[in-house]
Structure 1
Amino acid sequence: MFLHITAARYIDNYKVEVQFNNGRKGIADLAEVIKGPIFETLTDKNYFLLLKIDPDLETITWPNGIDIAPEYVYFQAFKNDPQLQDQFKTWGYVF
């Protein structure tokens, strides 16, 4: 099953409540994502607030075309879930 984000709502400090197509809902802290030149515009919280779900990509996007892989958002939302650690390692997300 491919993961897709079906809903997203900004909470605060780069935290986003997300709903996935597998039924799971969680809070992803995306502060780690906004480091580096590609994501520099997202450091402006007013711009970060402009996030939306792109209906074609089925993930979080911003008006300038930046998007975040749904798997990474899923990892950020559930990285402390011990049952998902093997899956995260398979995806290359490790602590």
Structure 2
Amino acid sequence: MFPHITEAKYIDGYKLWLKFNDGTEGRIDLSSELYGEIFEPLKDINYFRQFSIQGNTVAWENGADFAPEFLREHIT
């Protein structure tokens, strides 16, 4: 089954709570993943908080997103 994010909530810092279409849920800290030009704006915590679910994953207005498979593998 291809993982899809069905719910996402901001926790604090660069942490999100995610729920997937298979019922798996957990937290992920993306602080160590914000490198590269597309992710630079996300280092502003206020901008980071402005994500939405687009397609199957969380994404930001500037086009930054993370593969849902990556997120699913790294939740705790």
Q: TM-score, normalised by structure 1?
A: 0.75
Secondary structure of residue in 2 paired with 1:7: strand
State the 4+ residue runs in structure 1 displaced beyond 2 angstroms. Answer: none
Unaligned runs of 5+ in 1: 79-95
Count the aligned residue pairs.
76
Shift of 1:67: 1.2
Mean Cα deviation higher: 5-14 or 30-39: 30-39
1:1-95 paired onto structure 2 within 5 Å: 1-54=1-54, 57-78=55-76
Shift of 1:63: 1.0
Q: TM-score, normalised by structure 2?
A: 0.92
Post-superposition Cα deviations, 1:44-93, rounded to whole Å, max 9, x if no partner, equal 00000001101xx2100111111110011112204xxxxxxxxxxxxxxx
Which residue does the alignment assign to 1:82? none
Contact kept? 1:4, 1:70, Cα under 8 Å? yes
The answer to which structure has the higher strand fraction is 2
Instruction: Give the partner amino acid of 1:63.
Output: E
The sequence identity of aligned pairs, in percent, is 46
Mean Cα deviation higher: 57-66 or 16-25: 57-66
Instruction: Give the partner amino acid of 2:43.
Output: T
Unaligned runs of 5+ in 2: none
RMSD of the TM alignment (CA)?
Answer: 1.0
